Structure 1
Amino acid sequence: MPHNLKQHYSAVVVGGGQAGLSASHYLKKHGIDHVVFEKKTVAHKWKDERWDAFCLVTPNWQCQLPDHPYDGDDPHGFMVKDEILGYVDRFIKKVDAPVLEHTTVNSVERLPSGGFRVESSAGTVTTDSVVLCTSLYARPAIPRAAERLADDIVQMHTVDYRNPSQLPDGAVVVVGSGQSGAQIAEDLHLAGRKVHMVTGNAPRCARFYRGRDVVDWLADVGQYDITVEHDGMTKKKHDTNHYLTGRDGGRDLDLRKFALEGMKLYGRMEGVSSGKMLFAPNLKANLDNADRVYNGINALIDKHIAANNIDAPPASVYAPLWEPTSEPAELDLAVENVTSVIWATGFTPDWSYVGLPIFDGTGYPVQRRGVTGIDGVYVLGLPWLWTWGSGRFLAVGKDAEHVVGHLTDYLGSTNERPFKQAATGR
């Protein structure tokens, strides 16, 4: 890792997670001098923002970081936290990226004469190209309603949750039913805690269907190769992930089953007032929509099996195990002895350091497979940057290879590259 900054680099990578490391891997392969700025530590989200029982949701074979495929003996299993960290640490050592940790990038700006200036807490450099790898998960998103909760209620975002013993005795409200929320609610439920689950619009997916992991079927169907440019896919980058789990060998997460076992379910949270959480009357709709996606995915698999005359166990359709008899409008936190709230409400991006006109009206970078409309500016690691796996171990490497290939061609072909003579190795 470098101790001193050079004045100029051919490329600057912002972010030292799996996307930034993948970019560095290919930049090194192409002999392009570069530096990686990381605000905290390399791959810190895997190390510092996961709960103790965390495990992969997708099978291990989908771990396909560049030149670093899954190297264990259980490709159809689901690595637990320590195994994931081992896999990531081996990748970190293999890449040996030129990273400056604990270095905040304060601004990225285009120079009038061409090229870019990158100002960081470690100093300012110029560069011919920039790869932005800071993802959409920069800041935990917690609704303002959290400010209205009583001071004696422990509140934390999913990034800070580790295990049930971390929380005081009493009931727990989990707000948000995406992957993290559903898995943490199960973690608490299995520990015997009283859980109140506030649902949202997250879809769900079967773990196993017709004799195989659903992910294996979907790979055969070609779902992981569909790009964001296919009809109807452009909005996918804003979708909530399907909830299911790889825990204990993998299983469905069915909120209706949890309800039968004593978990209390609610519609979307609309606010907090006078010690009560208030909810929209959409619990049934949320559950029905999640099941509709579940059955729709299975129907896609049925179609594939029929079309290819595959011998497989018979098809089935999920039927609700439980139906809400009412739509709870409120939850009195004191009456229900709620002592903790887990905010599984996602994240917001932080592009404030980027002083370049590359964003659309929603604040999402305008790009095509990581290539923006400004020559020399790239983004990596975003959900549905190109395919379903773009933000994950499965395809972030493929996207990085594409981006660095484009970047290499740009550096080699442009006659207007302002620092061409100063850049080493070009």
Structure 2
Amino acid sequence: MTSTIRHVPVAIVGGGQAGLSVSYHLKQRGLDHLVFEAHTAAHTWATQRWDTFCLVTPNWQCDLPGHPYDGPDPDGFMKKDEIVAYLKAFVAKVNPPIREGVAVTRVARGADGLFAVQTSEGDYTADEIVVASGGYHTPIIPRMAEKLPGSIAQIHSNQYRKPAQLPEGAVLVVGSGQSGAQIAEDLHLAGRAVHLAVGDAPRCARFYRGRDVVTWLADMGYYEKTVEDHPLRDGVRDNTNHYVTGRDGGRDIDLRRFATEGMALYGVLEDYADGALCFRDNLKRSLDQADRTYNGINAAIDTYIAESGIAAPAQTPYSPVWEPGELVTSLPLAGSGITSIVWCIGFTPDFRWLDASVFNGAGQPKHKRGVTGEDGISFIGLPWLNTWGSGRFGAVGRDAEYIVQVIQKRLGAEGFALSRMV
């Protein structure tokens, strides 16, 4: 028996906030579409975040299309359960035509010019493909992990939930980006002995001269700066996010202060050999560079305040509260007390299901504002898709609106057609 292939003008792959934002704007224009989500809508926030996770940007920046934050604490930072509730309310508002539990396994353009979309529930065709699955797919765990003793519990940051899930003993956190720094703090506050392998992530202040730094930067137009306007151009997409936290009302994360409180800091973890963890000698350089970024952002705010004639309380630059002593580049695992490792070194993209020439040598999509060089394929929800704000709840809606405008122009009147069987 020949299976029936359903046609939809627009197929959206991914049902997170990015895909749902595209669905919102398509519905506003009467454009027929389907959202394919391998799990449930916005599931990542509920299933791949630790228990004390909260936003690092203030709630007022949460402005999904038709769904601005309207809670009682616009200057606060939503916790995990509040984020999930906010997104569930967004799903209810959008009421998207979504196929939950349906994975897209392959997309390729057919001889008829349409995209053949293979899914776990059957085949579809589409005129347009919107890739809304993000860029964080495969957790990075280095090959050195295979050499570690089986007695060491190892998890990735997306599996971490709370300190109690790890065996008793010291914990090595590898990586000091947003996840690594915040997980290290979570363990530290719980009284666990923490060893932290520090990378090159920058940091910023939570509050400076009487206001949240995010608020200052928003007023200064930083979140509206486009990739084309940035000195690094496309290279800015490779930048690591600054570490800071919204926990307990928001505060700085100062790794030096953690060191004064007993946290052991090292450079980048490079290997495990002869029973010892081997670290790069970059700790002081990394801490100094992070502080230069911290003070540099604050100096830019100082300039803005002065040029704008704004009255704001004075504040002095940050001065280190701790300096590394004797350099430790080798730590024998036996005797260290370490019983578990949390790998916080990111993810790699996995777009193998998309058979199209729209990727660079690193497997990242090539695009301008999400629109690729191949008609009919767009991306949404990637860091710096267009601006610094693209990876946040506040700007993804604008990115989605732009992509939908492009799609509508390409589809023309056919975009308003109902789904049809072919």
- Return the TM-score normalized by structure 2: 0.96
SS of 1:189's equivalent?
A: helix
| More displaced stretch, 98-107 vs 276-285 | 98-107
**Other-structure match for 1:126:** 125
**Other-structure match for 1:81:** 80
Deviations 1:148-192 (A, max 9, x none): 111011110111111111111100000000001000100000011
How many percent identity over aligned positions?
55
- 1:13 is aligned to 2:20: no
Distance 1:167 1:354 in 2: 37
User: How far 1:362 moved relative to its partner?
Assistant: 2.0
8 Å contact kept, 2:31–2:417: no
Distance 2:172 2:230 in 1: 38
SS of 1:117's equivalent?
A: strand
Matches within 5 A, 1:223-262: 223-234=222-233, 235-262=235-262
Distance 1:315 1:52 in 2: 34
Matches within 5 A, 1:43-192: 43-192=42-191
| More displaced stretch, 313-322 vs 400-409 | 313-322
Deviations 1:254-290 (A, max 9, x none): 0000000000000011111133211110000110111
- Pair 1:236–1:5, CA change in 2 (3 A): farther
User: How far 1:334 moved relative to its partner?
Assistant: 2.0
Matches within 5 A, 1:250-289: 250-289=250-289
- Pair 1:422–1:317, CA change in 2 (3 A): closer
Q: What amino acid does structure 1 have at the position aligned with 2:290?
A: A
User: How far 1:421 moved relative to its partner?
Assistant: 7.4
**Other-structure match for 1:206:** 205
8 Å contact kept, 1:227–1:233: no
Distance 1:326 1:35 in 2: 59
Distance 1:44 1:420 in 2: 30
Question: How many pairs align?
Answer: 417
**Other-structure match for 2:368:** 368
Distance 2:139 2:391 in 1: 18
Distance 1:301 1:128 in 2: 47
Distance 1:366 1:314 in 2: 44
User: How far 1:28 moved relative to its partner?
Assistant: 1.1
SS of 1:293's equivalent?
A: helix
**Other-structure match for 1:319:** 319
User: How far 1:91 moved relative to its partner?
Assistant: 0.4
8 Å contact kept, 2:201–2:240: yes
Deviations 1:354-377 (A, max 9, x none): 100011222211111111111111
SS of 1:367's equivalent?
A: coil
Distance 2:9 2:406 in 1: 14
Distance 1:158 1:369 in 2: 29
Runs of 4+ aligned structure 1 residues displaced above 6 Å come to 419-422
8 Å contact kept, 1:282–1:327: no
User: How far 1:111 moved relative to its partner?
Assistant: 1.6
8 Å contact kept, 1:302–1:315: no
Deviations 1:58-82 (A, max 9, x none): 0000101111000101100011111
Distance 2:417 2:113 in 1: 14
8 Å contact kept, 1:117–1:125: yes
Distance 2:211 2:4 in 1: 51
| More displaced stretch, 311-320 vs 342-351 | 311-320
- Pair 1:54–1:5, CA change in 2 (3 A): farther
Q: What amino acid does structure 1 have at the position aligned with 2:193?
A: K
Distance 1:237 1:115 in 2: 31
Distance 1:68 1:231 in 2: 29
8 Å contact kept, 2:30–2:416: no
**Other-structure match for 1:399:** 399
- Structure 2: stretches of 5+ with no match in the other structure: none
User: How far 1:319 moved relative to its partner?
Assistant: 0.8
Matches within 5 A, 1:334-373: 334-373=334-373
Q: What amino acid does structure 1 have at the position aligned with 2:316?
A: S
User: How far 1:115 moved relative to its partner?
Assistant: 2.0
SS of 2:154's equivalent?
A: strand
Q: What amino acid does structure 1 have at the position aligned with 2:112?
A: S
Distance 1:200 1:306 in 2: 34
SS of 2:342's equivalent?
A: strand
- 1:215 is aligned to 2:214: yes
8 Å contact kept, 2:102–2:120: yes
Distance 1:155 1:397 in 2: 37
| More displaced stretch, 371-380 vs 249-258 | 371-380
Distance 1:421 1:383 in 2: 33
- Return the TM-score normalized by structure 1: 0.95
